[in-house]
Amino acid sequence: MRRREFITLLGGAAAWPLAARAQQPGKLPTIGFLVAGTPSSHGQWVAAFVQRLRELGWIEGRTVAIEYRWAEGRTERAAEIAAEFVRLKVDIIVTSATAAVVAAKQVTSVIPIVFAAAGDPVGTGLVASLARPGGNITGLSVQQPDVAAKRLELLREVVPGLRRLAILGNVGGPAVVLDMREVQAAARTLGLEVIPLEVRRGEDIAPALESLKGRAEALYVVIDPLVGTHRIRINTWTLAARLPTMHGSGEYVEAGGLMSYGPNFPDLFRRAADYVDKILRGANPGDIPVEQPTKFALVINLTTAKALGLEIPDKLLALADEVIE
C-alpha cells in the first residue's frame, strides 16, 4: 500500500474513538490501541494494522471494535491510557515503543498485549525470550545488531569528513537508552567524537538543540514517539543550522530529515495484526514467538541534501529504497 493510500485509509483519525465508543459494550471483541505517538507520526502505521485486520476478516464495527487512544509521545499519558483500557475490559491491548509497552505491562498481567515495535524486548525485560515470551506479552522487536554502525557508515558516505556527531534521544525510554549506548560505541569505533543530547519531554528538545551550535557536524536522532512527535521542529532547526541528520524511519525524512535507515514500520504494524488474529482465535500470547524485522529501507531526501549543500553519491542513490525530491 502506498503512503498516500495509508493517509486516505486513516481518514478521520479524530473520529475513530467516537466510532469505537458507539459499539455496544461486550458485543464485539475489543482491541484497545494505545498509539504511542500522534495521528501525524503514527497514523499511516495504524492504518496498515487496520488494513491487515480487515484482510484477516476483522472488520471494524462489524466483527471487532477498536478503541484508539493517542499518547502523543508522553509516557505519563500512556500509563493513563493503559489503566483506562483495563477499566474498559478490552480483550487485547496493542501498542508500540518500549515505554508504552511497559506502561501496559504494569497495569495488567491478564489482558494480552501485542507490541507492533519494541526495542530489545528481552534486554528491557518485556519478555523472557524471543522464542518463548511467556506471560501475556508478545509482538515484534526492532532490535537488530549492527544497525547503528550501518547508519553511521551511510552518514559518513554523505558527510565524508565527519568527526563530531551529536546523538539526540529520549532517555525516558528504556530501549532508547540502550540504543544510545550502541550508537556511541559504534561512533567511537569509527573515531568520532560523541555529543549526547538527552531529553525527557518535548520542552527539552529546543534547548538541547540550541546547545549544539557550532559543536557538531551531524545529528543522529534515536527513534522514539516523543522525538517522532516533534520531528518537524527538529528538522526545521537542523536545516537552519545546516546540520545533516540520520534517522531510524522514513517518516522523519518525509518531514525534512536528510536520510534514514531502519525497519519498515508499516510492515511491522501489518504483522502485528496477525498476532492479534491468532490471539482472538484462542492462541496464548506467551507461546507466540517474538519476531524481528524482515524489511529494511534506506530513504534519502534530496531536497534537504541540496539545501545543506551536500552531494549524495550515485552508489547511495542506487541503494536507496525511496528518494524524496
301 and 279 within one domain: no
**Which residue range forms the structural domain that includes residue 199?**
147-263+297-324
Do 159 and 215 lie in a common domain?
Answer: yes
82: domain CATH number? 3.40.50.2300
pLDDT of res. 57: 97
Render each residue's pLDDT in the chain as its tens digit; 325 residues: 444 444 444 443 433 333 333 334 457 999 999 999 999 999 999 999 999 999 999 999 999 999 999 999 999 999 999 999 999 999 999 999 999 999 999 999 999 999 999 988 998 899 999 999 999 999 999 977 679 999 999 999 999 899 999 999 999 988 899 899 999 999 999 999 999 999 999 999 999 999 998 899 999 999 999 999 999 999 999 999 999 999 999 999 999 999 999 999 999 999 999 999 999 999 999 999 999 998 899 999 999 999 999 999 999 999 999 999 9
Find out whether 9 and 53 touch, Cβ atoms under 8 Å.
no
Provide the b/e sequence for 289-299 (b: ≥16 CB within 10 Å): ebbebeeebbb
Whether the Cβ atoms of residue 45 and residue 140 lie closer than 8 Å to each other: no
Q: How many CB atoms lie within 10 A of CB 231?
A: 24
Does 252 share its domain with 160? yes
Identify the CA nearest to 241 among candidates 172, 323, 309: 309
**pTM of the predicted structure, to 2 decimals:** 0.86
Tell whether 87 and 131 lie within a shared domain: yes
The predicted pLDDT at position 317 comes to: 96
Same domain, residue pair 170 and 205: yes
| Cα separations in angstroms, 276 against 44, 56, 102, 139 | 18, 10, 19, 9
In this prediction, residue 253 carries a pLDDT of 96
Q: Are residues 269 and 259 in the same domain?
A: no
Q: Kindly state whether residues 108 and 174 are assigned to the same domain.
A: no
Judgement on whether residues 137 and 84 belong to the same structural domain of the protein? yes
CA angle, 296 as apex, 197 and 38 as ends, to 5°? 55
Residues 86, 158 within the same domain? no
My answer on whether 16 and 96 are in the same domain is yes
Beta bridge partners of 198: 169
Burial track 66-78 (b if 16+ CB lie within 10 A, e otherwise): bbbbbbbbbbebb
Q: How far apart are CA 318 and CA 321, in angstroms?
A: 8
Provide, for the chain, the percentages of residues in helix, strand and coil under a 3-state DSSP scheme, each rounded to the nearest 5. Answer: 45, 20, 35
pLDDT score at 146: 79
Q: Answer whether 116's CB lies under 8 Å from 93's CB.
A: no
Count of domains for the chain: 2
Instruction: State whether 152 and 279 are in the same domain.
Output: no
Amino acid 2: pLDDT: 42
Grid coordinates belonging to 106:
504494569
Per-residue pLDDT at 223: 93
Same domain for 45 and 158, yes or no, is no
